Amino acid sequence: MIRPILLLGSHNLYDVSVPVSKDEDIGQIVEDLRDTLLDWRSKNNAGRAIAAPQIGIGKRIIYVEIDEPLVFINPRLEFPTAKMMEVWDDCMSLPGLYVKVRRYEQCNVYFTDMDGNQKVFYLQGSMAELMQHEYDHLEGVLATMRAMDCKAFRMKKIEG
């Protein structure tokens, strides 16, 4: 089911999400995340991932669909180096707004998959940035809260 995406100003976006328990059935949540992301992508020609808090579900779940769908349950991040990069971050909860932020160039994400297997991915560059962005949603942190300074904002150009 396609769910409304919460927008900047929604108090739920600032809540810290709770872990998914071992016996919890999250199939419908994952399906809703997929449907919502794919709907957004079809309308905006963008969107690689979505976190459960963005559709009003305070659970630690991230859905990514680039080459194939991936579900990250109860992810945990580690940063192997202190090297940072600057990126213009965009978000479905901040449509049309870009925020310049600093992110780690690399991250390791430890998580459980849909089959209950423990996994780790070693990410760098744009994938590391994406995972940090989505993980921030689980922590109740928006890109606006990570802005480099008061001039680190720009709006998407409106066509027409």
Q: Which residues are annotated as a binding site?
A: 91, 133, 137
CB contact set of 147 (below 8 Å; sequence gap of 6+)? 99, 100, 101, 153
Q: Active site includes 134?
A: yes
Q: Which one is catalytic: 68, 105, 129, 134?
A: 134
Residues of each annotated binding site for Fe cation: 91, 133, 137
Return d(Cα 97, Cα 113) in angstroms, integer: 32
Return d(Cα 70, Cα 113) in angstroms, integer: 8
CA-CA distances (angstroms) from residue 118 to 15, 133, 150, 159? 26, 21, 40, 45
Return d(Cα 18, Cα 3) in angstroms, integer: 20
Cα-Cα-Cα-Cα dihedral sign, residues 65, 66, 72, 75: negative
Copy the structure tokens of residue 127. 């994938």
Which residues are known catalytic residues? 134
